[in-house]
Chain A
Amino acid sequence: MMDKPWNNRAWLFVVPVLVVVLFSSLIPMMTVVNYSVQDTMGQNNFFWNGVAWFQGLLDPTSDIGGRFASALVRNLIFSIVILCLELPLGIAVALCIPKQGWKVGASLVLIALPLLIPWTVVGTIWQIFARQDIGLLGAALNAIGIHYNDTQDPTSAWATIVIMDVWHWTGMIALLSYAGLKAIPDAFYQAARIDGASRWSVFRNIELPKLQKVLVIAVLLRFMESFMIYTEPSVVTGGGPGEATSFLSLDLVKIALGQVDLGNAAAMSIVYYLITLTICYVFFTIMTQLDQRKGV
């Protein structure tokens, strides 16, 4: 008997997944693709517009192109700034977590606390915290003579958003690093002592290399999340003052829902999506290569 038994039961398992994917991603995405190649004069009449929306979007000299480019640059700067702050800070916090006793649990809970707060609540906390009249931070800073106004001064607004993000997410990097540090066998530390290595050398030659994989994941998670940040700045600054904190998502929502400029918004969504996808792919490649090098 060479024939395989013919059995269609597998479809029972595959079809539900396909249906869910169809409705959750493919159809909405195709709608966006549809909008991105058409224009309308209203009354729900659409006509073919080719790649004109994309041309405009990717041409920095046009209105929409310039707006997109500056939002993109702003967002990239934001992501890089928070990574530069959160990564070293997270590792430092992880190194300071006690090694044993009840203090371990206590520190882990405290570190994880900001991660458990819903995004809008984080935004609200910091919005109130930053107010010049009743906010602890805003009022205190102004009282000691530092000019601080997150609704009018771009520097204040940026500082607030950045510090808020650091407060919100450093804990995640700390927890990931802590897990990575825990996985290092004691023998490595003992060997380093026998070899006469300094504390810095232990960090540089043992801890950091062993954390490498965990940190790549941490950078990926933090980069993607900050690249798509919406809720917190939307609550705290609403993208202002002016355009100062209008990151990609905020700008996209303004164009799509504020100005109902569907063609531009759809084109922007797709380009935004492709950028995100590319960066993800790069990180994925790095991670698999790290795995393979380890495996040799």
Chain B
Amino acid sequence: MASITLDHIAHAYPGAPGAAPHYALKPINHVWQNGRAYALLGPSGCGKTTLLNIISGLVIPSEGRLLFDTADVTRLPTEKRNIAQVFQFPVIYDTMTVAENLAFPLKNRGMEKGAIKRRVDEIAELLDLKPVLGRRARGLTADAKQKISLGRGLVRSDVSAVLFDEPLTVIDPALKWELRSKLKSVHQALDLLMIYVTHDQVEALTFADEVVVMKDGAVLQIGTPAELFERPAHSFVGYFIGSPGMNFLPATVAGHEANVAGTVFDLGARYATPANAGKIEIGFRPDYATLHETGGIPVRVLKVEDLGRRRLARISVGGQEAIATLAHEADLSPGDTAGLIIEPGHLHLFVDDLRVEGERA
């Protein structure tokens, strides 16, 4: 058990000599605390797997240091680091039984037989694998196989971190929920540092204490699910998290007010007019923007979608399209004019994609 320190870690795959390095992972500096669960979230090719491989030792970063507690492990081979990894596809040893699979890492480290058996029983108990211990691993279902690969990692008592590389990809949707809650309970029982890579925001938000949102090799924001939702630091975070994502409208700002092509929004805080700023946008979540028949900011309804539990409307505001939630009592249909009310504190200002904080009065 340990905390993991990323000390200015960056990685560029070797390119043409002399050329500016093309980073697969831009410099990141962060400490991951022991006992917490982190999710690396981002679209394909955002560098999250590179980061995971740096931690597991499959990739040596081209810059920076990696510390497990205080030990520098940057250049240590995978087998010397005390990490466990669960891969996208179940990795099991076909010819062995479940018990032999679980015992394998201990056997390789020359542990004594009785101790191995005790530890295997313990882990099997934890993962509900007890009834199948004597069975050939190859005949089992995908979720049982994933539990075995997880168990092979957990069986070592000295393991510092458990890494998950999109482990639920091949699992039946019905079993996903069950396996995910199993992971959660294992995390609580063992008090381990867990790092979970995924491109599925629901997985990330339900699994992790803190989510690391990545894009194009850069970390955009590290925060709790609530922080990412309420106060996205980058417009991409706003857009990527939540379903549907945040609305962004280009605007001009003066003091308390934002002006979107003639429509005025009250920002609820004072903003200094950004000097030589490039792109200025206001952002708000559909979840915090309700549409009423009257009152609020005048908008036009383009389309109404009934999702059962709630109704969403595609609206036109100042010539821009956005999405808002329909109020319960509102009876609106396409073509109607309506009033948009944004909950106080949920209208954000983004300058060059970065969120800026205003002075609240």
Contact = CB atoms under 8 A, between A and B. Distances in A.
A289 to B, nearest CB: 13
A182 B58 CA distance: 19
A46 B158 CA distance: 85
A293 B93 contact: no
A191 B137 CA distance: 15
Contacts of B138: 293-294, 296
Nearest to B159: A194
Given A193-B78, A196-B108, A293-B139, A210 B94 contact: yes
A50 to B, nearest CB: 52
A63 interface: no
Interface string A166-198: 000000000000000000010110110111111
Contacts of A198: 108
Given A196-B105, A196-B109, A209 B95 contact: yes
Contacts of B108: 195-198, 201
Main secondary structure on A side of the interface with B: helix
Nearest to A296: B139
A39 B91 CA distance: 64
Contacts, number: 57
A205 B91 CA distance: 12
> Which of A187, A191, A193, A198 has the largest number of chain B CB atoms within 10 A?
A191
Contact of B85 (A191, A201, A294): A191
Interface residues of A, number: 19
A6 B29 CA distance: 77
- Interface size bracket, B side: 20 to 34
B14 to A, nearest CB: 15
A205 B95 contact: yes
Contacts of A220: none
A194 B84 contact: yes
A206 interface: yes
B83 A194 contact: yes
A193 B85 CA distance: 11
Contact of A194 (B85, B89, B94): B85
Nearest to A198: B108
A150 B139 CA distance: 52
B152 interface: yes
A206 B87 CA distance: 16
25 contacts: A185-B89, A185-B91, A187-B87, A187-B91, A188-B91, A190-B91, A191-B85, A191-B91, A191-B152, A193-B77, A193-B79, A194-B56, A194-B78, A194-B79, A194-B84, A195-B79, A195-B104, A195-B108, A196-B105, A196-B108, A198-B108, A205-B93, A209-B94, A294-B138, A296-B139
- The list of the 3 closest CB pairs from A to B, nearest first, reads A196-B108, A187-B87, A191-B91
Interface of B: 56, 58, 77-79, 83-85, 87-89, 91, 93-96, 104-105, 108-109, 138-139, 149, 152-153
